[in-house]
Structure 1
């Protein structure tokens, strides 16, 4: 039987700011209101921590708050109070609308909309304590929208290959010709940056009309049959990092960013801004070599920021 935790509270009457803060926190928590001043969530560690934080703020502002564990009365189904089907239905409607407006010209805008819808989905999911079929349908619709947009922006996107990632020696990959599909997007731009920065500083790049045009001696990346492409759950950038054993905390963060922008998943906080910058560069620069140079400057800045953040974290951990 599911156990529950109730927050019984009386908000401070003379502090409008504190009342508003508490109401917003309770709404954001996903709790259900049993009656005025009584809020309910399933007895889980995260839910209890949320109620404890709200309680501390209410008490600190002059109100009262009490947490009480409870079992539902016989014949009462508290789970119905947490049904998120309506929110998921509205989200699916918005996803369907966005997909209907998708074209080659609108792909960039629809991708931005897909990211916003992804945030909405994440917000609903966070307070969906009893997920069911509605959540699965919304998630599937969102993934389908993202995949469709990415396919339009980046035709011939590679399929993930099964198997292990082969380790490579850096000294064997110097002054090579590297080839990938023209009009590179996030994963290919990040791969080109990684190659130039860490693997082959004198690399030359070919931008292919079709993967079938790849010369036999060129090192292909990010297309089916390429020397370096998606393997399992990893996108091409992550495969290159693993292949040449370049793993560092900063490149791991870069990999998470590229993975999200290429294949979805957990969204880094900087993803929307980086995507907007790269989309602007891609729209404004028609020459792929110049596009790569401009994108490399963006990735250089990100790497420096990640490294500085990592150094600051290490200093903070020292006693």
Structure 2
């Protein structure tokens, strides 16, 4: 079966330089292939025709002419030639080089905020390239592997005591058995520990108190530990601690909590990207710098997670 393509043919008056630049930038942002000056190509996929028609209307509004055409590839050679117009390998290669430079020179704990900013920026660059990679090949996988390797290496630097996942069955527990307890986790909490503490106080133990440990070995016997090796609640299989709490206390049917769990999971261990992750990660990074006291940090983080939960619940009241 031949592949179908969309072609936008545009012509704008020479005097309309601003219009030409506006259209060019919009088509570049769409990731269009360029057949020649004034002829732009996209694969014929849902939504793309409407986007090109919007550009066609813009061109006509600026006194130019434009047409959106549908074309089927005549043969394998033409199909290959068209597909090569969308090859993002050079972009991935440049990104991989930057990732390698960061891995070689900036994987240290002396400036954690800078390292976190670098990781966030590089992940955004990867996502931007991937969003326009309409015909992914090995270059995308290579860049993704490099990105994930850097994220894991950075996590080991920024959170050296991050727990190792265990393989066990998650038991269903009763909320009534976990009231007015002291809960303990590692100090200077990041997203999984902060979100888990919020979840505990919001859905499990409203009167919970929290102890912030310099090392997991400092955990008192009577305290309920979470998010460290040997804790009562920690990573199990592919689940981060927040998700383990959900499963343990029957909270996995809450759609808003599930969306929040996806966000926490991605920020803590990677995986499927979540649109809100960059904003939440940047916010928590800044909050950690602003509030050196962990109780104060949690108090502020609880407001943030309350807001996310409200938004994900779709309740504007």
Matches of 1:232 and 1:44 in 2, distance apart? 37
Any residues of structure 2 matched to 1:112-261 within 5 Å, and which? 112-162=117-167, 164-246=169-251, 247-261=253-267
State the secondary structure of the residue aligned to 2:188: coil
Q: Compute the displacement of 1:121 (Å).
A: 0.8
Question: Does the CA contact (< 8 Å) of 2:175 and 2:249 recur in 1?
Answer: yes
1:95 matched to which residue of 2?
A: 99
**CA distance 1:74–1:250, change in 2 (3 Å):** closer
State the secondary structure of the residue aligned to 1:94: helix
**Which moves more between the two structures, 49-58 or 91-100?**
49-58
2:24 matched to which residue of 1?
A: 23
Question: Does the CA contact (< 8 Å) of 2:9 and 2:67 recur in 1?
Answer: yes
Matches of 2:58 and 2:306 in 1, distance apart? 42
2:73 matched to which residue of 1?
A: 71
**CA distance 1:191–1:146, change in 2 (3 Å):** same
Question: Which string of whole-angstrom CA distances, capped at 9 and with x for unpartnered residues, describes residues 238-265 of structure 1?
Answer: 2212322334343233223322221234
Question: Which string of whole-angstrom CA distances, capped at 9 and with x for unpartnered residues, describes residues 190-236 of structure 1?
Answer: 11121112211222222233334434443221123322222333321
Q: Compute the displacement of 1:91 (Å).
A: 0.4
2:33 matched to which residue of 1?
A: 32
Structure 2 unmatched runs, 5+: none
Q: Compute the displacement of 1:37 (Å).
A: 2.2
Question: Which string of whole-angstrom CA distances, capped at 9 and with x for unpartnered residues, describes residues 77-98 of structure 1?
Answer: 3222222111001101111222
Matches of 1:192 and 1:177 in 2, distance apart? 11
Structure 1 unmatched runs, 5+: none
Q: Compute the displacement of 1:185 (Å).
A: 1.3
- TM-score, normalised to structure 2, is 0.85
1:272 aligned residue (249, 253, 278):
278
Does structure 1 residue 287 correspond to structure 2 residue 302? no
Question: Which string of whole-angstrom CA distances, capped at 9 and with x for unpartnered residues, describes residues 161-197 of structure 1?
Answer: 3455432221111012212122211110111121112
**CA distance 1:239–1:44, change in 2 (3 Å):** same
Matches of 1:4 and 1:306 in 2, distance apart? 38
Question: Which string of whole-angstrom CA distances, capped at 9 and with x for unpartnered residues, describes residues 123-142 of structure 1?
Answer: 11122122222111111111
**CA distance 1:288–1:55, change in 2 (3 Å):** same
RMSD across aligned positions (CA): 2.7
Does structure 1 residue 106 correspond to structure 2 residue 111? yes
**Which moves more between the two structures, 272-281 or 254-263?**
272-281
**Which moves more between the two structures, 256-265 or 49-58?**
49-58
Question: Does the CA contact (< 8 Å) of 2:109 and 2:158 recur in 1?
Answer: yes
2:84 matched to which residue of 1?
A: 80
